């Protein structure tokens, strides 16, 4: 159950980030083009990693953590450009969300029969 919740959270967060990046790139262009591409790439990486996490593929959780960290870093960049300040509460909430998803995935991880000694 925990693995399913973590997977759904990661897929949702990844697809949301892809959608926001595409929307900003095509319509409003409030950010630099490379920042939008970074947002799209990090979101796509997280959505892909969520599928690997769901099947407990070795390296899937590491890829998911990399995607979450990439989204955290581009979120810091975008906050400075969009709001001219860092909203610490938003950044802490995003970090807590990422740690929660990672923890749920780790606790729900299903080792394969070949992984057992």
3-state secondary structure the chain: CHHHHHHHHHHHHHHHHHHHHHHHHHHHCCCCHHHHHHHHHHHHHHHHHHHHHHCCCCCHHHHHHHHHHHHHHHHHHHHHHHHCCCCHHHHHHHHHHHHHHHHHHHHCCCCCCCCCC
What does the pLDDT read at residue 58?
87
Per-residue pLDDT for 60 more than 60? yes
Determine the pLDDT at residue 113: 55
Can you give the pLDDT at residue 32?
A: 87
- When pLDDT is averaged across residues 59-69 and rounded to a whole number, the result is 94
pLDDT band at 67 (very low <50, low <70, confident <90, very high): very high
Q: Which residue has the higher pLDDT, 113 or 70?
A: 70
Residue 18 reports pLDDT greater than 80: yes
């Amino acid at each position: 159950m925990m693995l399913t919740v973590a997977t759904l959270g990661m897929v949702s967060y990844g697809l949301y980030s892809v959608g926001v990046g595409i929307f900003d790139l095509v319509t409003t262009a409030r950010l630099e083009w490379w920042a939008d591409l970074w947002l799209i790439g990090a979101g796509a990486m997280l959505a892909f990693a969520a599928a690997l996490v769901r099947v407990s593929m070795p390296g899937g959780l590491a890829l998911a953590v990399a995607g979450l960290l990439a989204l955290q870093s581009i979120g810091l960049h975008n906050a400075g450009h969009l709001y001219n300040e860092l909203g610490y509460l938003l950044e802490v909430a995003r970090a807590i969300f990422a740690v929660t998803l990672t923890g749920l995935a780790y606790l729900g991880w299903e080792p394969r029969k070949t992984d057992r000694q």
